Structure formats: C-alpha cells, structure tokens
Structure 1
Amino acid sequence: MKYILSILAKLLILGISLVALASCQDEIEPEIEIDMDGIVSNDPVAQSIVAVATKDGSTDNIIDRSSCTTVIFPIAGIFEDEEQVFQTLTEVEALGAGALEVDWVFPFNVILFDHTEITLNDEDELETIQDGCIEGGSDPDNECIDFIYPFTIQVFDTRTENVDSREITSDREAYNTFTSSVLITTIEYPVRMIDATGNTLEAFTNEELTNIITNAANSCDEQDIIEFEEIFEEELRMLFKSTDWEVSFYESDSVENTSLFSGYTLRFNEDMTLQSQGAEVVEGEWDIELSDTAKSVSIEFDTEEEPLVLLNENWTITEHTQTQITLEYQDPEEGTKRLQLSSN
C-alpha cells in the first residue's frame, strides 16, 4: 500500500486528474519519494503555518495568567465582595488594577493553544496549565503575522486515499490540517498575509511562505504578559508624577482638618523623592506598592512637624482619576484617616 500512496501523492502534486489517478492504482511501480511540493506535518512549511495558526491566549492574561489559554465569556468573578458576571474582556479591563483583585469563580471554559475547548474545574487545573506554558515570546506561536483567509489547498488523505479541494477559512482549520499526520497537501498560491505593522505580503511558493513567516517571528512585541503588577504600579507612578497636588480633603477619626494644609503643594518626583512647598520646602520620599488585594502609596516627609507629619503613612488608594486621588489609612489608635489629593 505504501508505494500506491506514494504514487497517488506524486500524481496529486503534478495535477493529474482523478480519473488518471485512479487508473494508476492498479499499476505496481517502484516506491518513489513524495514531491517536494507535497506538504506533510513535519515539513518546515507545515510547522511554520502551524506557528501562525496556533491560538494566541495572551490577550486575556489579566484573567488566567496564561498565554496558553483563552477564556470563553461570560465568566463570573467575586469583586468587592459581590459576584459579578463579565460578558466581555473589555468589562474586565475597565477595572484596571482592580482586575487583580477579582476572585474568579470555577468552573469556566477555555480554548487551548490547539483550538480545543476544555472546562477548568478548579484553581489546580489552571495552575497545571500555567506551569507548563512557555511565556515571554519564547512560546512556539508566531503572533507577528497572520493569514488573510481564505486560501485553497488540495488534500490527499492517506487513510481513505481520497483527493479533495478544501478552502481554509480560519486559524483553527489551518492548525488542524497542517498538524494532521494522515494528510498530504499542496497549496494553491498565492497566499496573502498581514504583518504586525499592517503590511500585506504574498507568497507564491512553499519556500517563500516559510521565509515570510520565519522572518516575521520575534519582529513584534507579543505582549505575553502574566505579571501585571509592575504595569499598574508604573501607571500609578505616572499619575502621581504628572502634576503638583494639593490636599483638598483631610479627615482623621471623623474630624476634618483640611484647612491645616492650606498653601501646601505636594510634588512627587521621578527619583521617588517628595517635596512639599509651603512656608518652606520639606523633602521626603514616596513609593507605590501593588498587591493582589490593594494598591497603596507610602509618603514619608523628613519632619516631625504638623501638618506634613500627618501624611506619613502607607495610604491605600481607593479611587483615582487624572485630577483626583482618594486615599485611606486605618490607624488602630486614631481610627480611619481619609485624604484626597487634587491637581492644582
């Protein structure tokens, strides 16, 4: 049977009609090699195609911390002690750093790198996938170029000995076709692709297609980010550094003392030093810290004098906009402190 299949593959690649192909099955000829244009799953061109067609799961890493899985919406999570149902990734991203505080509710469904869908029943199953997922641009998928679908292929199935023409319309179809060990394919060129910069490229041979895909690999930032704390920390640092701030509200143990800070301006510097400009300039230091449950800013002025010494705490950031930051500190002796900074 092996030599018959080899003949069939050769004839397919040469474009001989199905009638002629069928008549050749009755002839016994010496075994021949598959023509170089016939693609099998371990060929470089097939592996290049599979790299492009592999499912990229990096867009929703804020949820699953894995570029090897793509969450299927809707998905439920507990945020601020209430269960919410998120219909889209946009709704999750709208939480900003708050997305790190969501306790996701299992089970939920995901799509794997090979386009199969599975159900994750608990945190352990997700962690197993996370531990086995290669991140940071070293993963096997090529996210810097995409196929412009559809494109057409001729397929010889070595199980059924059937030849047919197929239109590939998606990454899932391309992945399943070119990873199959029982299919021999030829591509009807040209095949069009689009790279990360928006340029359209055309391939007219297997060699050209392989070269285009290979050259595109690692040519863009694949954004396989799984640790988001540093990103949100930097965003908050940029907010504090963006302008000078005034104390627009200060309260300690339910007693408001905003007037104490009249005439004072706070400046958060790039080198993490801090300055208060009032009757005199007072120096200090500041820093941002982000955890899975809270985001905070530490303020430490080099003084024991009021009112600035009242700001020397590790404040929890409860709300923030480009013009206003709301902070809170739980003091075991003095009760709750509340502080609001507004751009001047």
Structure 2
Amino acid sequence: MKLNISLVFLIVCFSCFISCQSEISEIIQSNQGEVLSQNSAVTLLVKNTVTKDGSKDNIIDNASCISVQLPVTVIVNGNEIKINTEEDYEAIEAIFDAFDNDDDNLQIVFPIEIILSDFAKVSIANYDDLNTYTLFCSGNNEKDDDIECIDFKYPINLSVFNSENQITQTVTIANDEQFYNAIAAIDDSQIIEIQFPITTILFDGTEKIINDMVTLQNTMEKADNMCDEDDDNDYNDDDCLDCTIDETSTLLKTCRWKINEIKTNGIENNEQYKDYEFTFSDNGKVKVENDDNEFEGSWSIFTFNSQIVVQINFTDHPDFSFNWILSEIEDDNEINLQFENNELELEKDCD
C-alpha cells in the first residue's frame, strides 16, 4: 500500500511538472515576436544603432569607424595641444582656420589607444598601426553600417533565454556598449527578449515610445539615412555654432533666396537650377520658382547635435529634399547648407 501511495505521489508531481513546463513554454511562445535572435533583420538594425560612432574626431584621425581615446596630444601646425574632451576639437579647428593660404598639418603623438566600432580598445604605437584599422573604414561621406539618426533611451531591460526557451537571466542595459555586447553574445543557443515599452530618440530630439518589435524595426529602418551622419572630414561644416534657430528662421523668411551653387552627390548642378528661387513662409510652406517652373513643399528648422537643421521636402524634387545642416551664414546675405556630399548655397534676393 505504501508503494502505491508513493507511486501516486510521483505521478501527481510529474504531472504538475509537465503542466508547469507547458505553461512556461506557452508563455515564451506567446512572446516569440519580441525576441532578438542571431542574424535576424531587427537584431542587425539594433546592433547598427548601438555601434560606436567614430566620426566625431575625424579632424584627428580622418576615420569614421574608430575613435581616438582621450586624452590625446597632437601637434597642429607646430603647436602642441592636449585634447582632453570633445570640445577641445575646436582648438584644432581654430588653428586650421587662422590662415587661409597655409598648409595645415596635424600629427598625433604616439602611443595612443583607439576605440573600434565594437567598443574594443587597441593600443597604437605609430601611424602604420593606425592605418591598419583606418583602411577598413568607409571613405569620406561613404555609407557605413552604423545608424546615427536614432538612439535608445536607457535603461532597457532584457530577458535572456536558452535553447530550451527557459529564462536564464534578466539584464538591465545602461548604455550602447552594454547593448552592443549583449547583441554580440547571441548565438544559436540563445535569444534575447526586450521588455517593452522602450523609448527611442530621433535625430531631431523627438522621443517615440515603442511597444513591440515590429514598430521598433520599422522605426529603425525609417531612421536610417534620415539625417546627415556627418561621416566626413570637413571640419568647417559646423562653423555656424553661434547661429540660432530664431535668427536663421527670420532671415530665411525675410526675402527670396536664389540658388548660387548646388551640388548633388558631389556633382555640380548650377546650370540645371539656374535662376531658381526659394520663398520660405511662416506656415511651414516653401515655394521654388523660376521663369518656367513653380512648385511648393514644406520646411522646418530644429537643432540636432548642437547643429541647426533646415529640413526641406518636395514630393518630386529630391535634389532639394534633405535635412540640411546649416554650415554658415555670410553677412546675412548668403546661407550655406550641407547634407553629406550635397551642398546648397542660397543668396538673398530682395529685389
């Protein structure tokens, strides 16, 4: 009789165990759409979004896929400067801009340490060592993998599951590096579930709450190439640091603006758009016209990464439709706009 009671007890326990496992499996299956698995499209988008951006210090290394670990000492036109923060890059630019007709030169004082796109750090002894890594970077204004027009707002909670769909740990992510490492650790035996909702921050400062994986993927796909990622070596494209949104907006609405120079993908289009003039209105509308053409689009102005962005959009005129970075205002008569290797120079026409 004792044997039978024990047998019944074991059967009941086993049944409960199977039932519990089934319930856990059902719960996990219901969340399969919220997971990051190895090599999935959304996983790659997340990885590219949290990749280390190396373009901020291009005035030093001319390479957008690596960053020089600060502090670093450089010699600029014979002047030794210690760069402690990103704000000190302006000291280099000030020396470069001091004279128009001189040959600017920057030398790095080695050894240094660089940070790769995967946040790994490497010691560099000389320029030969440095070139070993910069050769793998995309060229000036060429497309690269990292997505800089959208960021994640932290903290973000992740649940890690093994191949048997059992949770192994819950992780709180505090920054891009931690998120990148979590994504890089995913293999065939592991998946990661994002605990929604999470918040993303777009290039114009707009915050968007994301409640599911489909929305997250769509948002990242739309954000890719939505802004100028500034992956170039043109340190002069931020010369409007003292400009303000109100002053720029008022100036644009003061008169008409004719195209003085325009480049599309580095190709000059001045003749094609000769005599075209822009009129910016208070209602967010912008009109372009010449003797034979007239069409209307929209415009807005905002700041991104301490730069002023003039967003212009026309349905059928892509050569004008960019999130233009305001690079310079000359004597309130000329406005220079840039987006990657596209340029638009407007000259005031109040006649």
TM category, shorter: 0.5 to 0.7
Q: Distance in 1 between matches of 2:210 and 2:195?
A: 10
Name 1:277's counterpart in structure 2.
none
Name 1:92's counterpart in structure 2.
89
> Structure 2 matches for 1:251-266, cutoff 5 A?
none
Name 1:122's counterpart in structure 2.
126
> Structure 2 matches for 1:226-237, cutoff 5 A?
226-228=233-235, 231=236
What's the CA shift string for 1:65-111, capped at 9, x where partnerless?
Answer: 11111111111122454543222232232232635522111111111
Q: Distance in 2 between matches of 1:214 and 1:70?
A: 25
Name 2:110's counterpart in structure 1.
106
Question: CA 1:38–1:70 in 2, change beyond 3 Å: closer, same or farther?
Answer: same
TM-score (norm. length: structure 2): 0.53
Q: 1:198 pairs with 189, 205, 215, which one?
A: 205
Q: CA RMSD in A?
A: 3.4
8 A Cα contact 2:76 2:92, kept in partner: no
Q: CA deviation at 1:155?
A: 0.5
Residue 151 (structure 2) pairs with residue 146 (structure 1) = yes
Question: CA 1:169–1:137 in 2, change beyond 3 Å: closer, same or farther?
Answer: farther
What's the CA shift string for 1:14-73, capped at 9, x where partnerless?
Answer: xxxxx9699749xxxxxx9x9443321211111111111000010110001111111111
What's the CA shift string for 1:269-299, capped at 9, x where partnerless?
Answer: x99xxxxxxxxxxxxxxxxxxxxxxxxxxxx
2:150 partner amino acid: I
What's the CA shift string for 1:170-229, capped at 9, x where partnerless?
Answer: 10111111122333111111110010111111111111100001101100000011255x
Q: Distance in 1 between matches of 2:81 and 2:233?
A: 23
Larger Rg: 1
Residue 163 (structure 2) pairs with residue 166 (structure 1) = no
Q: 1:217 pairs with 202, 219, 224, which one?
A: 224
Name 2:186's counterpart in structure 1.
181
1:50 partner amino acid: K
Q: CA deviation at 1:157?
A: 4.3
Query: What are the ranges of 5 or more consecutive residues in structure 1 without an aligned counterpart?
Result: 1-18, 26-31, 236-269, 272-321, 323-344
Q: 2:161 pairs with 126, 131, 156, which one?
A: 156
Aligned-partner SS, 1:132 = coil
Q: Distance in 2 between matches of 1:20 and 1:216?
A: 46
Question: CA 1:119–1:20 in 2, change beyond 3 Å: closer, same or farther?
Answer: farther
Question: CA 1:101–1:126 in 2, change beyond 3 Å: closer, same or farther?
Answer: same
What's the CA shift string for 1:244-284, capped at 9, x where partnerless?
Answer: xxxxxxxxxxxxxxxxxxxxxxxxxx99xxxxxxxxxxxxx
Name 1:55's counterpart in structure 2.
52
1:91 partner amino acid: D
Name 1:276's counterpart in structure 2.
none
Q: Distance in 2 between matches of 1:55 and 1:20?
A: 45
8 A Cα contact 1:152 1:168, kept in partner: yes
Q: Identify which range, 174-183 or 54-63, moves more after superposition.
A: 174-183
Question: CA 1:80–1:142 in 2, change beyond 3 Å: closer, same or farther?
Answer: closer
Query: What are the ranges of 5 or more consecutive residues in structure 2 without an aligned counterpart?
Result: 1-15, 23-28, 97-103, 241-259, 262-329, 331-351
2:60 partner amino acid: I
